[in-house]
Amino acid sequence: MLDRIVLTQGDIAVKTASGQKTVWSIVDLTLSAPRPLYQPQIDDGKLSLSATPSQAGGLCDIEQKAFVEETGIDKASIVSFGVLTPAGGAVTVDYNAILKNFFGNQWDLYDISIRIRPLVNLTICPNVKIGQTQIQRDNPMCRDVPPGVWVRSTAGGRVVVTVIYCGDVCGLYSREYNLAESGSIYQVNVLDSQLANLLNSDGVVVYAQRVDYPRAFDIYGFNLTNRPLAFGMFLPLRGRQLWLLHDSLCSADSNTPALGVRYLSIYTGSGFIELGSDITLNPGRGAGVVKVDHCGGCTSTARCAACWVDVPADALFAVVWVESSGQGLRSLVVVPLMPVPPLGAVELNTWKRWISIEPKLQTAVATRVVDSQSVTYLLEVVVYRKP
């Protein structure tokens, strides 16, 4: 079973009809990445699809007909600033189909639990005041953090911190730090004079990657705007699509005019790749008012409410720099392409199809340490024989 999860490539979700609407169903757990770099790796995108939010900023109903028809997503959960994930039954889990893929004709004799969690917890913990706003992070690792911008970890070693900033232009710089032991954790303060000055920019993103093995990473965006102007949603359902949505598709009280996406890039392990610029997103609801298209076709006259780009398998996150027409508002949205806080660890229990509590009769337990492009995970599989 572990080999099938880690080594087998293939789609894990299919589009199915459910009454009057179309939904996506997870039907398999073949998590191998489509392009292993040097050894078998699991796909961060598939994990992000399987993970569930541990906290969220609310739900939004997406009423734009063209987007719903194209994606099958009509509800989304706001998991962080400008970042959406499907919600409200838009992506379901077909436990029977998963069991049939693992056990064939004997599928109804067994149940399984699959748990996937990072071996090392690496978290960016800010405690800084920018203007009149105090920036802190609601995360257990960030409890009682002193002033500064701290990188905290459950393991020591080296960490590379990359700062992406945008104003009239966008830029970045990277530095390497050593995590120092502090009680039960390891930490380092990365708030130097350069970062302190950049925090006054319109948008700043801090990305931390553990250099030593096991791998770990985290990303955090500093935003002082009340709303993100645009939302990003990663949908590894049909290929690996990153969707950008105008604010009005998720904010009922939005009065945001047309938006210009000035900068759209994805970050891989080796640097940034630009996927688009000068993309225009328009407000609008209902049928026929606006459309959805590939971002390359969304010019100022195309009237796109949402657009998508295809991202490569080694992409870790996307950076979207957007401004509103005529209002002078700017926003920097970072869209993770793998499960990061507040997305929780992946856990799937097929026994939920018939009972609400974990069965007692375990027939096998197996664990394996596996890598993705960005994180080292502990994979655990428990097999139960159905009574």
Residue found under tokens 């569930």: 52
Whether residue 287 has pLDDT greater than 50: no
* Domains in the chain, CATH or no CATH each: 2-117+342-385 (no CATH), 122-213 (no CATH), 230-336 (2.60.40)
CA distance 79 to 265: 21
**Residue 286's pLDDT is what?**
46
Structure tokens at 354: 């018939």
Q: Quick: pLDDT tens for 307-365.
A: 999 998 788 899 898 888 767 788 888 898 887 765 567 889 999 998 888 888 888 99
- Using DSSP's 3-state secondary structure scheme, residue 97 falls into helix
Whether residue 288 has pLDDT greater than 70: no
Long-range contacts of 165-173 (CB under 8 A, 24+ apart): 165/198, 165/201, 165/203, 165/204, 165/205, 166/201, 166/202, 166/203, 166/204, 166/263, 166/321, 166/330, 166/332, 167/201, 167/202, 170/263, 170/319, 170/321, 172/272
Residues 70 and 305: beta-carbon distance below 8 Å? no
CA distance 95 to 353: 7
**Residue 150's pLDDT is what?**
97
Phi, psi of 79 (to 5 degrees): -95, -20
Pairing of strands 279-281, 203-210: unpaired
Select from 189, 179, 191 the least CA-distant residue to 121. 179
Q: Quick: pLDDT tens for 247-283.
A: 888 765 666 777 888 889 888 877 788 888 889 988 7
Whether residue 385 has pLDDT greater than 50: yes
Q: Quick: pLDDT tens for 188-242.
A: 999 999 999 888 877 899 999 999 999 998 999 887 677 788 899 998 877 789 9
Q: Quick: pLDDT tens for 121-154.
A: 999 999 999 888 899 998 889 999 999 999 999 9
- Percent of the chain predicted with pLDDT > 90: 36
**Residue 380's pLDDT is what?**
96
Q: Quick: pLDDT tens for 111-122.
A: 999 999 999 999
Q: Quick: pLDDT tens for 68-103.
A: 888 888 888 888 888 888 886 778 889 999 999 999
